Amino acid sequence: MPLATVVQDHGRLDGVQRVLFGGGLQFWLHRLLFLDALSYLSHGQLSLSLDRWILVDIDDIFVGERGTRLHEEDVAALLASQAALQRLVSGFRFNLGFSAKYYHHGTQLENRGDDSLLKHKDHFTWFCHMWNHQQPHLYNNVTHLEAEMMLNKQFAIEHGIPTNSSYSVSPHHSGVYPVHEPLYEAWRKVWDVKVTSTEEYPHLRPARLRRGFRHKGVMVLPRQTCGLFTHTLLLERYPGGRHRLDRSIQGGELFQTVINNPINVFMTHMSNYGNDRLALYTFESVVKFLRCWTNVRLASAPPLALAEKYFQLRPDELNPLWGNPCDDIRHRRIWSKSKWCGTLPKVLVIGPQKTGSTALYTFLAMHPSLAPNLPSPTTYEELQFFNNNNYLKGLDWYLNFFPPSLTNTTQITFEKSATYFDGDLVPRRAHALLPNAKIIAILISPSKRAYSWYQHIRSHGDPVANNYTFHTVITANDSAPKPLRDLR
């Protein structure tokens, strides 16, 4: 055990209060003390709330090889553990995601386990996984995807499983991020999905840096792992041994995950609840450890309520930030084979407006080595993707202006939108998708640009520009009428 080398300096000598950590932050208790020290020294301004929300998803209900599935006793243990957790985590219920195609695909004893889950269905909350546990990005046909989802729904209706959770999880995170539009469409239509969760946005560790976003009315929550995966069945085979799992629980990664995240959606699988029931051990242990060493208030709530809470806390995350799926090998694997990324622009002409950007675009497009995007029906040659709500239509919307047929192998694609130059969101968005793109900005005399702009809006019928001379507009002072000041 490292020595507790945290010292408080009241600052009597120089008036600066300090908390000094001599032993580093590797020791888990020091990390807690560090958070407390931040709160103490900032007089509460840098404090995290003590409320922590936990949702434990059990994916792959009914899925699994014979020999890895639940027996009746496992279901009884699941219920007992849930009851124990409910005493420590208010409102706690395991959240079961089912793939009905594999119902009754086990041994006789395991099939009784399936029946026992259904018998106690009202004790749990439920959500749809895919009927056949297939990855949605493998379906390019939305009708086919909907038909698969309908089979799962049919099963739910027949067996009295509630269908109104508005939540779903996709096998292997496929189709959630990078976005597979048919999945979002089918989810909304068949299951009225409003919430999902993924580990892939962005795909990085530590998990606490993952974010959420909203797309096409579906709120995507970041998903946490607890160190158990489909194949984690026996304690003696736990990678790194029991000691490693216990370390994660007792102040290590799992413990810190709950400390760092107000809202935690944990991913587990049905197989983690059979055999050695490692998930029950893990969650009961971490909850007891949290209750023993901290004052956090643990609670659970249905996914929709958690998502609403999450985005109240983090409204800045609602708008997504699209990356290039081809930049991440794992994302490429869960992205449709019919998608492409090689034609994404390598050059962006960003304006500003009225600097001759259309002329430059036209000249560039004439060059045999360059290929512009297809025109937009509404904004012509400009896609205006990064600066406005077109961005929220998703990456597919943008990509469709750069079909693979657009170029031959030697051509470089480019895009010009003069509105990019002064769009606040453009640098971050463009960098996320096209980090290596060359940027062209055209700078001309500001007065010439302003005059051209004035003429432009006059020709579009702007009443202010039509009522005032250019000189009046640019010389308007702060006491001028507001419309005039705005135009200035």
Ligand X SMILES: Nc1ncnc2c1ncn2[C@@H]1O[C@H](COP(=O)(O)OS(=O)(=O)O)[C@@H](OP(=O)(O)O)[C@H]1O
List, by residue number, the catalytic residues. 354
**Min CB(343)–ligand X separation in Å:** 23
Which residue lies nearer to ligand X by CB, 418 or 464?
A: 418
Shortest Å distance, C-beta 421 to ligand X: 10
Closest alpha carbon to 336 in 485, 138, 183: 138
**What one-character DSSP code corresponds to residue 188?**
I
Task: State how far the Cα of 113 lies from the Cα of 56, in Å rounded to an integer.
Answer: 20
Handedness of CA 474, 475, 478, 480 (dihedral sign): negative
Q: Which is nearer to ligand X, 202 or 356 (CB)?
A: 356
Minimum CB separation of residue 354 from ligand X in Å reads 4
Cβ 207 vs Cβ 224: under 8 Å:
yes
Of 269 and 449, CB closest to ligand X: 449
Q: Name beta bridge partners: 371.
A: 413
CA–CA separation, 372 vs 369, rounded Å? 10
DSSP bridge pairs for 121: none
CB of 434 to ligand X, least distance (A): 21
1 vs 366 by CB, closer to ligand X? 366
Complete edge-to-edge strand list for the sheet that includes strand 195-198? 195-198, 218-222, 213-215
185 touches 217 (CB < 8 A): no
Strand pairing partners for 19? Answer: 8
Nearer of residues 172 and 354 to ligand X, judged by Cβ: 354
The verdict on whether residue 285 carries a ligand-binding annotation is no
Burial 287-301 (b: 16+ CB within 10 A, else e): bebbeeebebebebb
d(CA 403, CA 372): 11
Rounded CA gap, 417 and 375, in Å? 11
Q: What is the contact surface with ligand X in residues (CB under 6 A)?
A: 353-359, 418, 452, 455
Q: Residues marked as binding?
A: 452
